[in-house]
Every structure is written in structure tokens, then in C-alpha cells.
């Protein structure tokens, strides 16, 4: 079985390729039945939404049930399972997981409360400031657990309060307290990722690395296999890698898969192709036609090695930028992040319609002139004769070099590369 791999697709399908009883630790954080669309990816105003496709809890549970069955199947008898959810569905999810054909009531270990503070609107109820993480073992008598400890506070240590006891009226000080500290309880106070946090990617449901670190250290050892079947921007994978675990990530969104691959490279120093792989990214032109517009744009820009625009609404005629490789190296050396502005770039425009027409090219020319670019790339399924004529005219008369690239050319290039 491959490890250190990201699979792009529905976990229900991808899990079928994972052998029975092969995984040590599973953490999942599936989208909840919250009737809320995640409309932000990089920024609030951006219209990349992860469809919260569950109208109600029932539909959510029906959706999750076969996926949990698969997850249960791939877990080792010594394995642990963490299901991250919030008030919308946590009680119903617990009832599902307690079923005898899944984990069973007796293998329930903890309801972990992740408490945080954040800004919320006023409401006629108490402010909601926690998530719930349901923790189960496949078999409570066999599961691996490295109990975490928190250090004593210096104040309490000084006062020796924690090991001060009174025997027969005398004060007796017990000196054999654990040097490791106090055993961790089930309420974890960890800040949410704020706008200044170093690890922040702008992914709306990104979880803090500190949370995953606790889980991974407690319920796995070095070399163990950690699986996240709804892995978003890859928090579990990054932490698992750092803690020397092997890992498998699955996500249905190709954009998420690209984001986490970049994050792994940027934060752990490993390299796609050499140290890990991204598998099952959509390949056929027909599959790509079915993509939501933003996923399609991201796929196209990423496929050329470019960086998609952070802002999708009012993108001013440019969907992404391709940076000459030397400039990227220079920027990295200078410590500026990859998404920062570098002046030498080639703009990329993407159109998902069947045929790119002359007006589309003309608009791109305007954007190129505005940004003082002489070269640009236009991606589409096909180009009309008029569009191609306009591209030739722009080169001849205005000195603008626009490269028309069809989706099938990109797909063929990718296939060629995968055969090398």
C-alpha cells in the first residue's frame, strides 16, 4: 500500500483501494450539515464554495454512513478514530458511531471539547465557542494511547498544592509526583487560526496544527500510518509528516489537493514526485467540463505551473500568473512568500465555454495592456477562427504575444509527463 500520498476524489471510492486493517489512526473533519456555504477560500469575498450539500442531519448521516463503514474496515484492531464535528450533528453522529456494526457504545473513549474564542454576532443564546471531537477505539482493550501531559504551572509547583496531602492530621508532602506533569483532560483550549497566524492559508475550515499534534502524538507512534479522508488544506498530513508518521490524505476537491501539496512542500521541505505523490487528479477533458468554474480555473492555472489569483470575483481579466522559475528561486532566497508580487510574470486567462471568441481575446488584450504585459496565455476548450485571427492581429499590430492553449493540449502534456 502506498503511503505519503494524496488521493483526489470521493473518499468512499478511494478507501476501497486501502486494505482491511491497515491504518493506525484516522482523523476526519467532514463538512457539517450547517446550511452554510463556505464561500471563502483565500478571502471572504471569493466565490469558491465547498457545497455544503446536506439539507438536514438525516441526509448528512446517510452520506457519512457508508464512508464511516469503509473507514472502520481499514482501521487496525489497535487503531483509533477521531471524528471532528460541531453542535449541528455531533449527537447524531455519536449515535451512528455507537451502533454495534460500527465502533459500538463500549468503544467510545472521549468527547473532546475543543474550546476557542472568536468573534460572533449577537444572538439569543450562549455564544458557541467549541467543537466536539468524538474519540473511539476499534477495540478499547487494544488501542494505542500515549497519554499526554500538561506541565504544572510554576505557581502550583512552587506551592506544591498538587501533591500536598494530609495524613492523620499531619502535613505530608508526597515527592513522587510525575515529572511529566498533569494528565491531559478532555477540554482542550487551543486558539483558532487568527488572521495573523503563521500557519494560516485562508482556507475557511483550516484547523490548528496544535490540535492535530495532540491527537497524532497521543494515538500513534513514529512510523505508524495516519489517514485523513476529508483533509482540506492538509493540516493532518503536515503534522503527521513532521511527527515522523506515514500518511494518506483524501479530498474530493482538486483545489484542496493542490493547496495541500504546496503546503507540504513549503512547510516540511519534502517534494512532490520524490517524497510524496498526488494521485487521481481528473484527467479527461469530459471530466474537466463538469468542474465548477472556480475548480476549473484553478486546475488550468496549476496545470501550467502557475499561481491562481487569490481573488476570483472581479479578477480584472486575469485568472492566474506564471512566474519564470528563476524569479521564484530568487524570491524564496529573499524570504518573500511565493504568492507575493513579482514583477516578471505572464498572465493567464481561463474560459470554460465551449469556444473562446474574439471578444474574450480583446478583453484579455485590455487586461494585458493595463498590466503592461507583452506575453499572455489564454486557456479554453476551443478557439473560434475569429479569436485566432485576433491573436495574430494583436501580435502583428500591437506586439502582444498571446498563446492559445486548449484543455486537450494541457491534458496530453500531463499524460506525456506522467509516462516519463
Ligand X SMILES: C[S@@+](CC[C@H](N)C(=O)[O-])C[C@H]1O[C@@H](n2cnc3c(N)ncnc32)[C@H](O)[C@@H]1O
Binding status of residue 34 toward ligand X by CB under 6 A: no
From the list 192, 33, 181, 228, the residue with the least C-alpha distance to 114 is 192
Site pattern 85..124 for ligand X (x: CB under 6 A): ----------------------------------------
Site pattern 249..288 for ligand X (x: CB under 6 A): -xxxx--x--------------------------------
Binding status of residue 50 toward ligand X by CB under 6 A: yes
Interface residue with ligand X, options 10, 398, 403, 412 (CB under 6 A): 10
Compute the least distance from the CB of residue 389 to ligand X, in Å. 41
The piece of 137-145, 230-238, 303-311, 334-342 that touches ligand X (CB under 6 A) is 230-238
Compute the least distance from the CB of residue 326 to ligand X, in Å. 32
Compute the least distance from the CB of residue 233 to ligand X, in Å. 4
Compute the least distance from the CB of residue 229 to ligand X, in Å. 6
Q: How many residues sit in the footprint of ligand X (CB under 6 A)?
A: 21
Nearer to ligand X, 132 or 229 (CB): 229
Compute the least distance from the CB of residue 294 to ligand X, in Å. 13
Q: Which of residues 234-253 bind ligand X (CB under 6 A)?
A: 235, 250-253
Nearer to ligand X, 13 or 411 (CB): 13
Compute the least distance from the CB of residue 97 to ligand X, in Å. 18
Binding status of residue 83 toward ligand X by CB under 6 A: no
Binding status of residue 30 toward ligand X by CB under 6 A: yes
- What's the 3-state SS for the chain? CCCCEEEECCHHHHHHHCCCCCEEEEEECCCCCCCCCECCCCCCCCCCCECCCCCCHHHHHHHHHHHHHHHHHHEEEEEEEEEEECCCCHHHHHHHHCCCCCCCHHHEEEEEEEECCCCCCCCCCCCCCEEEEEEEECCCCCCCCCCCEECCCHHHHHHCHHHEEEECCEEEECCCCCCCCEECCCEEECCCCCCCCCCCCCCCCCCCHHHHHHHHHHHCCCCCEEEECCCCCCHHHHHHHHCCCEEEEEECCHHHHHHHHHHHHHHHCCCECCCEEEECCCCCHHHHHCCCHHHHHHHHHHHCCCEECCCCCCCCCCCEEECCHHHHHHHHHCCCCCCCCCCCCEEEEECCCCCECHHHHHHHHHHHHHCCCCEEEEEECCECHHHHHHHHHHHHHHCCEEEEEEHHHHHHHHHHHHHC
Dihedral over alpha carbons 189, 195, 197, 200 (to 10 degrees): 100
Binding status of residue 31 toward ligand X by CB under 6 A: yes
Nearer to ligand X, 74 or 229 (CB): 229
Compute the least distance from the CB of residue 80 to ligand X, in Å. 17
The piece of 28-36, 128-136, 170-178, 358-366 that touches ligand X (CB under 6 A) is 28-36
Joined grid coordinates for residue 165? 496531602
Site pattern 188..227 for ligand X (x: CB under 6 A): ---------------x-xxx--------------------
Nearer to ligand X, 133 or 288 (CB): 133
Contact residues for ligand X (CB under 6 A)? 10-11, 29-31, 50, 203, 205-207, 229-233, 235, 250-253, 256
Amino acid at each position: 500500500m502506498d503511503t505519503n500520498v494524496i488521493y483526489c476524489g470521493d473518499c468512499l471510492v478511494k478507501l476501497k483501494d486501502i486494505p482491511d486493517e491497515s491504518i493506525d489512526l484516522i482523523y476526519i473533519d467532514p463538512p457539517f450539515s450547517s446550511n452554510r456555504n463556505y464561500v471563502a477560500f483565500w478571502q471572504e469575498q471569493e466565490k469558491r464554495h465547498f457545497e455544503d450539500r446536506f439539507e438536514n442531519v438525516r441526509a448528512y448521516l446517510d452520506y457519512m454512513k457508508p464512508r464511516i463503514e469503509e473507514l472502520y474496515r481499514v482501521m487496525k484492531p489497535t487503531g483509533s478514530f477521531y471524528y471532528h464535528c460541531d453542535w449541528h450533528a455531533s449527537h447524531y453522529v455519536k449515535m451512528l458511531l455507537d451502533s454495534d456494526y460500527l465502533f459500538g457504545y463500549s468503544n467510545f473513549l472521549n468527547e473532546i471539547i475543543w474550546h476557542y474564542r472568536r468573534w460572533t454576532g449577537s444572538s439569543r443564546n450562549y455564544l458557541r465557542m467549541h467543537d466536539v471531537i468524538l474519540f473511539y477505539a476499534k477495540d478499547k482493550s487494544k488501542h494505542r494511547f500515549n497519554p499526554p501531559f500538561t506541565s504544572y504551572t510554576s505557581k502550583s509547583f512552587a506551592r506544591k498544592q498538587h501533591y500536598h496531602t494530609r495524613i492523620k492530621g499531619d502535613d505530608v508532602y508526597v515527592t513522587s509526583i510525575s515529572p511529566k506533569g498533569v494528565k491531559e483532560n478532555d477540554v482542550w483550549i487551543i486558539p483558532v487560526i487568527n488572521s495573523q497566524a503563521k500557519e494560516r492559508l485562508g482556507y475557511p475550515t483550516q484547523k490548528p496544527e496544535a490540535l492535530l499534534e495532540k491527537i497524532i502524538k497521543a494515538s500513534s507512534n513514529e512510523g505508524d500510518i495516519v489517514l485523513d479522508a476529508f483533509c482540506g488544506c492538509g493540516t493532518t498530513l503536515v503534522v503527521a509528516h513532521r511527527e515522523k508518521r506515514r500518511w494518506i490524505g483524501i479530498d474530493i476537491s482538486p483545489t484542496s489537493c493542490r493547496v495541500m501539496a504546496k503546503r507540504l512542500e513549503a512547510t516540511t521541505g519534502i517534494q512532490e514526485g520524490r517524497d510524496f505523490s498526488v494521485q487521481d487528479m481528473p484527467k479527461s477533458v469530459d471530466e474537466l467540463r463538469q468542474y465548477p468554474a472556480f475548480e476549473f480555473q484553478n486546475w488550468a492555472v496549476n496545470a501550467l505551473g502557475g499561481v491562481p489569483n487569490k481573488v476570483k470575483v472581479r479578477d480584472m481579466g486575469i485568472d492566474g500568473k506564471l512566474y519564470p522559475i528563476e524569479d521564484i528561486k530568487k524570491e524564496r532566497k529573499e524570504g518573500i512568500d511565493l504568492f507575493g508580487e513579482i514583477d516578471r510574470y505572464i498572465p493567464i486567462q481561463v474560459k470554460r465555454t465551449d469556444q473562446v471568441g474574439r471578444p474574450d481575446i480583446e478583453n484579455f488584450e485590455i487586461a494585458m495592456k493595463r498590466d503592461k504585459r507583452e506575453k499572455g496565455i489564454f486557456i479554453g476548450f476551443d478557439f473560434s477562427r475569429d479569436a485566432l485571427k485576433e491573436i495574430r492581429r494583436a501580435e502583428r499590430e500591437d506586439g502582444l504575444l498571446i498563446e492559445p492553449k486548449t484543455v486537450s493540449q494541457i491534458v496530453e502534456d500531463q499524460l506525456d509527463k506522467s509516462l516519463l
